[in-house]
Structure 1
Amino acid sequence: MDSAEVFRAEHCRAVASVVSAFGDLDLAEEAVQDAFVEALRTWPERGVPSSPGAWITAVARNRAVDRLRREAARSGKESAAIALTPLPRSGDAEAGAVRDDELGLLFTCCHPALARDAQVALTLRLVCGLTATEIARAFLKSESAVTRRLTRAKAKIRDAAIPLRLPAEHLLPERVPQVLACIYLVFTEGYSATAGDSPIRSDLCDEAIRLGHLMCMLMPDEEEAWALLALMLLQDSRRGARRDGSGELLPLEDQDRTLWDADSIAQGLAALDRAAGSTGQYLLQAVIAAVHATAPSWERTDWSVISAAYDRLVALTDSPVVEINRAVALGFRDGWDAGLDALAAVPKNAELRRLYEPARADLLRRAGRFAEAAQAYRAALAVTGNESIARVLRRRLVEIDIAGGGA
């Protein structure tokens, strides 16, 4: 494992540990950054430690103490800084404490006093270890705008004295929805990146699934947490088949199902069983993912179950995104014209065009309306921010041009 892999794997644990010890987000970020700089300096010569995560965390804690001592010495309070030196942990107690530290950091990032965009930005930065540049690229924002958002969010945590730890047990249920929503936003950005050359950010998918497992460990009776974990595992099971040998994105119907991860599917179905009593949207989405994951072929997909799940999702969420997906499912169940009629009824806005235009183009192509499909694919190309997805759209344009005799 090289230093970059260690950073992705251990950033959250290290930051959470330093935050738990010292109660300062900025100090934790700076100390962990110092530790990774030290790793880059020393590991090439000395080799990667046998426990790189523990090494990073130990060095980060020491750097935090050094910073506090320097600041305290200026005001004659060095003894106070020395008193803050964290005590070592060991064995099972350490594992449990690390888990609670990470969850505490996640709940802090998702505190209801923070706006949703601030929650996501903080989670991506502190929990997932993304830089401001990476966050900006993911959400089509300027780096300066993301930096300001992060700074304001951390200032609000400090000024409002938001606790940097897990909430009291009786407060957990009311906080869970924000945390689950934030985890899923991280996953969806990884599963279908909004910008960049790659359609998939595997690091974000892995991190979201890891956090989903942590939530289920924390609250084993929380059915909605199990539903979200099932949804992510079932969708992510297709990761290895979503690109061809040259790295191009493959639609679900063109994927080699033998490359789907059987273990992830089994885990996802087991989590779905644990979520059986859930009444939220993640269960319905997980049911849809399970239908796809267990269908023996694209042609034998049960679109009746999928359409029924989308009907319930529309009633539950009143989301135009869900309505777009429902329209596509109706097209497969009831015919392409039925799908196009349902799609035409979806409320239009500029933000939805990235999803609406490709869906309309696909339904028109399947209906054999090639001239209209070509126009729709061009409209989809004008609004996509991901180059890999754009290449898929261009391929479809070539296909319908051939099928339509130059339409």
Structure 2
Amino acid sequence: MERMLNGLLYKMAKPFLFRMDPEKAHHLIVDGLGAAARVPGMPAILSALWGTPYSQELAVDLFGFHFNHPVGLAAGLDKNARAVTGLSRIGLSFMEVGTITPKAQPGNELPRLFRLPEDEALINRMGFNNEGAEAMAERLGKAGRHRIPIAVNIGKNKATSNAEAADDYRACLQKLYPYGDFFVVNISSPNTPDLRALQHGDELRTLLDAVKEEMSEQADKHGDMPKPILVKIAPDNTEEQLSYIAEVISQSGMSGIIATNTTISREGLKHPDAGQTGGLSGRPLTSRSTEVIRTLYAMTRGKLPIIGSGGIFSADDAYDKIRAGANLVEVYTALIYRGPGLMKEIHRGLKSRLQQDGFTRISQAVGADHR
């Protein structure tokens, strides 16, 4: 009955949302969840409808946090931390907010978000549109503590050159350090000119050294231990590039990798909007992101934590990434197509797959394909 109700609610809402411009629908959902969470009793209703029960076998201990299960929300949905309370009630075990930049910026020209239903995909060229680090700090500060760990995804402003990029990432940490549980360095969006170049060569090493130094300074300032920092990479890197990236991230003392961001590939797409410029997410990214996870796990011998992201639409997709080497995974595009009931489906499915493989804890499945 519960599964039927969850499915029916989104089945009724989806045609209305999909008749709207994608970006307007996006804002309606995020702002709606933000407003709903402020209504007395509504967070409890959201939890009752879409929350996931605690299961010891799915719990993950990583980065100093206890995650109720391995599935969180990727960056991009709640760019300005407007709906953290609402989103924390729909069954996620953690979430990213952002990407945020030091200064507010409008992003790229409209239209810049496209649905590709036949491909179960999205193309976006948003361009880090956001209200700026100060606005996010104020909002997170007023919200107080949250039910799940919050990762703040940070980037550079479009007008900032790569030579000065480190200053932008440092500025984000300076403003947001007290409010994020951990941080994600985004150097892999295809929608900010030259941003992806920061993944390679001396630029990557220099940037991560600066971020690490700033994190230490902020920790000292607040009488705290440095918070975890992860690096989000693109799926379009060659094996040679991945090897270099993994080596530098490991040597820099970063806490882990998020694999992967959106792709610039358009292979196999059917929708007429396939030629739109931007980053592609969703089903077409499923196998490539899993391949990148598998490669990185082998390169780092499983010693560098990986959060897997890209094309997770089912428990099988999530479990494939975990067996390939992901400690945690993230969803985004599938929530648009399947609705929040997806979280309970993945939760149930992961428990079933653990039993089938004879595992008693999800941690036992991490990297299982390599053994």
Instruction: Normalising by structure 2, report the TM-score.
Output: 0.31
By relative contact order (CA 8 Å, sep 6+), the higher-ranking structure is: 2
Which structure is higher in helix share? 1
Which structure is higher in strand share? 2
Task: Report the structure number with the largest CA radius of gyration.
Answer: 1
Instruction: Normalising by structure 1, report the TM-score.
Output: 0.29
